Amino acid sequence: MKNVCIVLLMLIAPLFAEESAVDVVEAYFKTQKNKEAEKAVELIHPDAIENYKKVLLKVPAAQQGYMLQSFGFKDLEEFKKTSAKEVFIRTLKNVLAQLGPDIEFKTLGVTLKEDTAYVVYETSMKLNGMDYYKLSPLSLQKHEGKWRILLTKNVEDEAPKQVEAPKVEANSPEQLVMSSFSAMQKGDVAACVKLFHQKDLGDFYNNMVTELKSISAEGQNRFISTFLKTIKSMKDLESASPELFMEEIFTRVVAQFQQQYQGGSLQFLGRIEGKDGKVYILYNILGQTAMFASRVEVDTLRSDNGKWYLALDEEILFAFKMSINSFK
């Protein structure tokens, strides 16, 4: 009888097991691959869905016509009368219709910060004939005891924040992220580039040179004049160092960051240990303007001989390959 009871308990235990944040995210990805918007909405936090409609209502008037047409509404009044849940379903159906059959989602880990879970995942698919990868975080909070996905906050209702600089251990991944954040705020592009591994910089440089050689001389010159400053030609580029090339490429990125987050602050949310010595650091960038009040980011780092480096991910490589192809 004792053994029978144990077996029965083992059989029914999964029925009472709490669904983890990762379980919910993976179920959400399954609904996306199957284009099941009605099922997907059940995995979204109700507060997030209500807030989503409020955010859409604040879209500038000049853009409202396109938004309403895209989501199948005849006018703004119909949109206002439609429930937030139905608005989200229509929006998601529009997005899912554009997803190709080869899209894949892979969860890489989860970390908890107070009442919020952060799941890091990778999206991969073919886009314009090229392999596309993107690393992203998803935030979840519990609703009636179940983890549910958050979408966005109404940042206009949230006052800009400033927090004290977090205390981090010396020679830690978090310290490197802090150094990167500080360098970008100061506009110190050279300092930013030094945080990447030499091999990654070399690989990125070689990939870009190879891609540029695949397009016309006219396209090469237009790309160089658009993105580079001291490098004036393919000859200059082929004799330049990977560090110089990256500095010139990164100048625009840093300038945009400064515009959005000058005077902002950083709040660490957690660390996820990945494979092949990689570490994912999740953090919140708290800005000084309502438009950029808060943004959750994830950085990939790897260690070499006891020293941490920022990893140059596939997303950056893809973005510049796309840029080069646009100059063909």
Tell me what pLDDT residue 18 has: 63
Report the SS3 class of residue 124.
strand
299 and 231 part of one domain:
yes
At 75, which CATH number? Answer: 3.10.450.50
Pairing state of beta strands 104-113 and 116-127? antiparallel
What's this model's pTM, rounded to 2 decimal places? Answer: 0.77
Domain count, the chain: 2
94 and 195 part of one domain:
no
Tell me what pLDDT residue 152 has: 56
Q: Is residue 9 part of a domain?
A: no
Is the Cβ–Cβ distance between 97 and 103 less than 8 Å? no
Q: Is residue 299 part of a domain?
A: yes
128 and 187 part of one domain:
no
147 and 165 part of one domain:
no
187 and 288 part of one domain:
yes
The domain boundary, picked from 152, 173, 193, lies at: 152
Q: Is residue 198 part of a domain?
A: yes
Beta-strand ranges (E) seen in 144-255 are 146-149
104 and 162 part of one domain:
no
132 and 204 part of one domain:
no
Pairing state of beta strands 116-127 and 307-310? unpaired
The domain boundary, picked from 152, 169, 198, lies at: 152
Domain range for 54 is 19-152
36-45, 193-202, 231-240, 272-281: lowest mean pLDDT where?
272-281
Q: Is residue 81 part of a domain?
A: yes
| CA of residue 228 relative to chain centroid, distance | 26
76 and 112 part of one domain:
yes
The domain boundary, picked from 152, 184, 211, lies at: 152
User: Where residue 69 falls among pLDDT bands split at 50, 70, 90?
Assistant: confident
Average per-residue pLDDT for the chain: 84
What average pLDDT score do residues 76-96 get?
90
At 190, which CATH number? Answer: 3.10.450
Q: How far apart are CA 7 and CA 3, in angstroms?
A: 6
Tell me what pLDDT residue 12 has: 39
Q: Which residue has the higher pLDDT, 25 or 67?
A: 25
Q: How far apart are CA 269 and CA 282, in angstroms?
A: 5
Q: How far apart are CA 91 and CA 93, in angstroms?
A: 6
237 and 259 part of one domain:
yes
Q: Is residue 193 part of a domain?
A: yes
